[in-house]
């Protein structure tokens, strides 16, 4: 498998879905357990159901923690950037444009929310599409923002939280 070239997703993923209900194409589960819970922030270990993701979670030094681990904001930024980058590359493929040098930088800030006094995330996305005219790059970015489920979730919200008691 190491010698095989990674294949891009099919352009059919750009086809508009006309169903009435949400149609899952892929589902994964990550469980966080263990760690210190007294500070009210994630710690412990995050493990995916397939075992491919195992991450030690630590409170960042900026929030009074020990650092030396990954935090939820980093994981969210990585997922958002990967998803947006994938959407951008898929759109580039549709118009037969090389996208080898594109990059997506996502900055996630955790902070206080003046609306309700609680906490919120602020997300800044910077997209680099070198060698492309500005108006073309801007159109690609606008379309990627419409296609990327992370961007859609950030705009519309899609969280379903359920309490499970064993």
For 83-95, write each residue's pLDDT tens digit.
999 999 999 999 9
pLDDT of residue 40: 57
Could you tell me if residue 162 is inside a domain?
A: no
pLDDT of residue 48: 95
pLDDT of residue 63: 84
Mean pLDDT of the 70-82 span = 94
Could you tell me if residue 75 is inside a domain?
A: yes
pLDDT of residue 78: 96
Could you tell me if residue 165 is inside a domain?
A: no
The number of distinct structural domains making up the chain is 1
- Other beta carbons within 10 angstroms of residue 112's beta carbon come to 10
CATH classification of the domain holding 59: 3.30.300.20
For 103-122, write each residue's pLDDT tens digit.
999 999 999 999 899 988 99
pLDDT of residue 37: 57
H/E stretch holding 103: strand 103-112
Confidence of residue 80 (pLDDT cuts 50, 70, 90): very high
Could you tell me if residue 62 is inside a domain?
A: yes
For 3-59, write each residue's pLDDT tens digit.
677 777 788 888 888 999 888 888 999 988 877 655 556 678 899 999 999 999 988
Contact 100, 92 (CB under 8 A): no
* Residues whose CB falls within 8 Å of the CB of residue 48, separated by 6 or more in sequence, listed in order: 28, 29, 30, 54
> What pTM did the predictor assign?
0.84
pLDDT of residue 44: 84
Name the nearest CA neighbour of 104 among 130, 132, 69, 122: 130
pLDDT of residue 1: 53
Could you tell me if residue 1 is inside a domain?
A: no
Could you tell me if residue 86 is inside a domain?
A: yes
Could you tell me if residue 108 is inside a domain?
A: yes
Confidence of residue 2 (pLDDT cuts 50, 70, 90): low
pLDDT of residue 69: 84
Mean pLDDT of the 117-133 span = 92
Segments forming the whole domain that contains residue 44: 11-156
Could you tell me if residue 42 is inside a domain?
A: yes
């Amino acid at each position: 498998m190491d010698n095989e070239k990674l294949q891009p997703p099919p352009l059919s993923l750009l086809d508009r879905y006309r169903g009435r209900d949400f149609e899952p194409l892929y589902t994964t589960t990550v469980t966080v357990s263990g760690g210190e819970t007294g500070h009210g922030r994630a710690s412990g270990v995050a493990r995916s159901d397939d075992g491919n993701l195992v991450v030690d979670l630590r409170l960042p030094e900026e929030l009074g923690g020990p650092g030396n681990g990954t935090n939820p904001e980093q994981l969210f930024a990585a997922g958002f950037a990967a998803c947006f980058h994938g959407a951008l590359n898929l759109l580039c493929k549709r118009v037969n444009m090389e996208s080898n040098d594109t990059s997506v930088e996502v900055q996630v800030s955790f902070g206080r929310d003046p609306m309700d006094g609680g906490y919120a995330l602020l997300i800044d996305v910077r997209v680099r599409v070198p060698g492309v005219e500005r108006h073309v790059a801007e159109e690609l970015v606008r379309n990627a923002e419409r296609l990327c489920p992370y961007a859609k979730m950030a705009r519309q919200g899609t969280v379903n939280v359920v309490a499970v008691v064993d």
